[in-house]
Structure formats: structure tokens, C-alpha cells
Amino acid sequence: MNKTQHMATLLAVTMAAHFAAFQAKAGVPYEMREEPTLRSVAEAIDKINTAFTEYKKTNDDRIEAIKSGKPTADFDAKLARMDEAMNSLTEQKSRLEKVETKLARPGAFSGGDRGPGESQEATEYKEALYDWIRAPKDFQREQRMQQTFQALESKGNAGPGERRSTQATVGSNAAGGYALPEVIERTIARLSADISPIRQIATVRQVGSTDYKELFDIGGAGFEWVGETDPRNQTDTPNLVEVAPTFGMASAKPQASEESLDDLFFNVEDWLTSSASESMAVGEGVAFISGNGVKKPTGILGGPAPVATADAQRAFGTLQYLASGQAAALPSNADVFLDMVYSLRARYRNNAQWLTSKLILAALRKYKDLEGRYLWQPALTAGQPATFLNYGITEAEDMPGLAANAFPLAFGDFKEGYLICDRVGMRITRDEITTPGFVKFYVRKRVGGKLRNTQAIKLLKIAAA
């Protein structure tokens, strides 16, 4: 065995020992995430199309069995398995698309420590923060972090060279924690957007205060045609209403063992950003759908009770629903879905899409038009979603399931219809006391949300009328 092979073997043994110590300390099995088994997005698209061809044949056989009075249990079970298979393929396609997007970003292979546009002071503060995370009880590391932060803050206050100050004053840990470097904040925000379906389709703004409000014109200014010498009449004044998002503190609690933090091969940056972004995205997902506005965003379904009244007669801020026609089931045919599409104004249909959960999506795959053609179609190109009635579908597991009086399906222009506000600045606080042997880091930020234009979204209500 040569020297290189010996070093490689020693490295592998060391890493295995650290990992075993981490597992023993955690007391729970380490979660192994399933990696995509497909090699490319094109392969995923091909497999989804092949699976859907078989799905249509099986569903057609099920329909014929129903007409003949034969049992359909075997067909139902097979369709359920095929639904799961297509869902899995779709998720793998989505992951592959995200990997390709990440690799296409500028600087993906640069290997540098400094992010695009990041100053020397910002890089030094980021490195000092990671050093402190590895040894949060080390006074010298904590002091260096404070010094580098002060240098960064001084540069921000000195002129416009730094894009923004950190929006916070560093004090002792007990006084409220430390400000996260902007580059980490951006990474967490980007990863959260990759995970959160609502962030991908809504309007997202960065704001400096939780007092942020938007004025929305619900009527539009008046208009008239006139000749060159005709008198100009007074046009109507725009009817403005105020949209004020409700805010709450989103808090993630990444936790690592002391052994892993001591390990030189443990990537602190990847661990912190991935753990915090995933936790925040999961919590936000619930709030963006059903949040009641109390110390959290007001969700799409969290505002005033939806009504059946059309746009012209409905109060602004309240969504319109269309009934499924059945007390506890989806519509018996596609007419209600067409009504949802065309109840939306043409200006909003251009950017409209469906929003629903995986279970409702499985039911949508079975609908046909009068010519026997399936209304759900798989994506044919990379980066595009599957469609229903030629409109894209966004899957959100926090949407309600099938139940009486539930709203399991939404359709509309969600960029026009829903507003998410991120207050600039994240903070981090350590906790090495609560769980002996582990160090927790509380990463938190203020997030707001509210319906923006309630004429841009329509709901399906499971009800007879």
C-alpha cells in the first residue's frame, strides 16, 4: 500500500468513527435521503409519459368494468400504485431540474469562499460566524465574530459600497443573538423558495419593517375617448384599498452533535443553510395556506369565509368559490373545472395555474373531455409542470384533502393574488444546555403574508351547492 492509499484509508476510517459517534450520541438512525435514480430530466419525462400511457389504458379498463357491472378493486389498486409511481417520477424530475439549475448558476464551479459581490468584511464575518458555530463556548472566537461584524457594520455605514447594513446591533448572546451574514440569509431564502411551492408562485417582497402595506386599485381609473377639441370630463377616482400582511416569527432549530461540530470534515455552511431552509419552508407552507394571521401570515384560505358571489358584487378581500355539485366528492364531470377557469378574468388566466394536494391530483388524472381525451397531461419539456385543462399544476401538500365543505383546489394567478413579505435580516442564537451533547442554533426571521387581489383566485368547494 503506497502513501496515498494509506492516507485515503486513514481518512475513511476517521470519518466512519466520527459518523458512528454521531449516531450513538443521537440515539436515532440517521436519515438517508433517496437520491434520484434517473440520469436526466429527459429520461424522467420519457418515463412519466410511458407510465401515463399505461395509466390511461388501466383506467379505461376500469371504466368498462363499471359499465359491465364487474368489480373494480384490482383496477383501483393498480391505479393507486401507478399514481404513486408517477408522483415519485415527478419528484425526481423536479430534483434533477433543481440540480441542473444550480449547476448553471454563475460561480457554481468557482470554488471560491467569497460570494458574488461579497465584500472582504462580509467574508470575514461569515468565516468568523462558522468558527463560532463549531465552538460556541470559545470566548476568543465569539470576540472575533463581534469584531468582524463591527467592521462590516462600519463599512455599511460609511457608504453605499455595501448593499445593506445588517439591520441589527450585535450584543451578548442572551440579548437576542447574532445577525446572520447576508450571503447565508440569501442562501436560506433561495433554498426555502426551492422547497416551498407557494413561494414559487406568489409575489415575494423584501421589506424593512413589519408595518409594510400596499395600496391596491380595485376599480381602476376612469377612461373616455375624446376628440382633439372636445371638453375633458372628470374621470373616476381610483378606488384604493390597503393590503397589510400579518407577520410572525419563523424560527428554525438546527441541531448538531458536539462531535460533528468538532469534525473538520463537517460542512457547517451546508448543514446550517439546508437545515434552516427546510424547517422554515415546511412551517411556512402551512401558514401560507391556512394561517389565521395571529403571530403568523394570513394564508390563502385563512381570510374571510369564501362566498359564491361573483367579482362585481363580492367584497374585496373575500374569495369566490364554485361548488363541486356533490356533498362529499369531486365533480362528476369536468364542467365545474371549466367554470372555475372561465369565472377568472382573462387578464388573470394568462398566468393562472392549479394549486392542490397529491391526493386530489390523483383524482384529476381520471377526468376526460367529451371526446374521451384525458384532461391531465404530463410535462413534455424540462422545467414545465404537468397540466390540467392546459394550465400548469402546483402541488402543495398543505392544501386540504377531500372532505365536505373543504376547499381542496384553487385556480388563479397567485402572483397577483397572494403576497409574501420577508423582513430583511435573520438572527441566530445558540443553545448547548437543553440537550446535553448537542448544540442547537435558533435561526429566525419575520415573515408576513396575505391575500393581495381576491379577484385573481377561485376555489373549488366540496358541496352540493
Task: Select the more confidently predicted residue: 79 or 224.
Answer: 79
pLDDT digits (tens, 9 = 90+) for 340-383: 999 999 999 999 999 999 999 999 999 999 999 999 999 877 77
Q: What pLDDT, on the 0 to 100 scale, is given for residue 152? A: 74
Task: Select the more confidently predicted residue: 216 or 103.
Answer: 216
CA atoms within 13 A on the CB side of 233: 9
Q: What pLDDT, on the 0 to 100 scale, is given for residue 44? A: 83
Close Cβ partners of 128 (under 8 Å, ≥ 6 residues apart): 141, 144, 145, 147, 148, 149
The percentage of residues in the chain with a pLDDT greater than 70, rounded to a whole number, is: 76
Confidence (pTM)? 0.73
Q: What pLDDT, on the 0 to 100 scale, is given for residue 382? A: 76
Spatial separation of the C-alpha atoms in residues 75 and 57, rounded to whole Å? 10
pLDDT digits (tens, 9 = 90+) for 77-122: 999 999 999 888 888 887 777 666 655 554 444 444 445 556 777 7
- The identity of residue 158, as a single letter, is A
Close Cβ partners of 115 (under 8 Å, ≥ 6 residues apart): 107, 123, 183, 186
pLDDT digits (tens, 9 = 90+) for 226-279: 788 878 776 555 577 889 999 999 888 888 887 777 776 667 767 777 888 888
The percentage of residues in the chain with a pLDDT greater than 90, rounded to a whole number, is: 42
Q: Give the length of the chain.
A: 465
Cell of 371: 371526446
